[in-house]
Amino acid sequence: MRAKFVLTEAATGLWRNVTMTVALILTTAISLALLGAGGLLYTQVNKTKDLLYAQVEVTIFLETAVTPEQKDALQQKLESDSAIKSVTYESKQEAYERFKELFAESPDLVENTKPESLPESFRIKLENPSQANAIDAKYKNEAGVDVVSTQQELVGRLFDAIDAVKNLSLVVSLVSGAAAILLIGNTIQVAAYSRRREVSIMKLVGASNWYVRLPFILEAAVAGLIGALLASAGLAIAKVIVIDDALKALGQNSVVPSIGWSEIAVTAPILALVAVLTAGVTGWTTLRFYVKV
């Protein structure tokens, strides 16, 4: 009977303050959707960074007058270097074929460029891409080496931009979560004030504090759970309508990883758990410190 009474009171409270309940559900849904999107974005940014790191190369361009002996000696030294993951030699003709692909939309430039005008090179993958500058310092004065291109400046700026996006997503998630907590607390205060006579009567007949507070906490938890379900549905819709189409437009060579359904499936219960726990803790704190029940 006690459990039935508590559940009935919670359902009555949700219906009695339907406007506040709807506002709480929508705000919670929006906040949790931002939180979930921020979490997914944070994860995808880290994956993108790892993919970009994996694609970082150091290119050692050889002099025009490099001898076969110098080239062989340099290749042996590169292949024996523990900091280097792989070494690929690129001839003048191979460089020209890649040049034609890169500048396919500039036929005049391709036509006026001959294979012999492009340098031979070694394209290097590193065990740790952040050590590109060390490779530059180590090999730039080797016999037969013309220029060492590390792409360090370009990659550094790109990683700085990625970190900025990651940090921004985290800030947005935290701010939206704080907004939801404030609204939950305000809603509970309003609900408790509108039922202050009932609460007073229950206290007079000997009801415990937990018995009085539990319906209010359940109201907030149920509203938060509904908001979490709406937020999860919103993330799924956004994946289908926005994210998948955007990645298709970028093509198969995009370094941006796709968000899979497994990640949505993991995010949804986390949002539900966050919503229920946040609503419960916020409700208890509000009633404990701000409302005399």
Predicted confidence (pLDDT) at residue 255 exceeds the cutoff of 80: no
Query: Domains of the chain: which residue ranges?
Result: 1-52+157-291, 56-149
Closest listed residue to residue 259, CA positions, set 244, 270, 274: 244
The answer to whether 126 and 138 have CB atoms below 8 angstroms apart is no
**CATH architecture classification, 56-149:** 2-Layer Sandwich (3.30)
pLDDT averaged over every residue in the chain: 77
Give per-residue pLDDT as tens, 202-223.
666 666 666 667 777 777 788 8
pTM, entire model: 0.61
Q: Which pLDDT value is given to residue 1?
A: 44
Predicted confidence (pLDDT) at residue 194 exceeds the cutoff of 70: no
Give per-residue pLDDT as tens, 48-90.
776 766 667 888 999 888 888 999 999 999 999 988 888 989 8
Contacts of 284 (CB under 8 A, 6+ apart): 213, 217
Percent of the chain with pLDDT over 90: 5
Predicted confidence (pLDDT) at residue 112 exceeds the cutoff of 80: no
Q: Which two tokens stand for residue 220?
A: 């907030």
Closest listed residue to residue 172, CA positions, set 32, 33, 38, 29: 38
From CA 104, how far away is CA 98, in angstroms rounded? 10
Handedness of CA 271, 273, 279, 281 (dihedral sign): negative
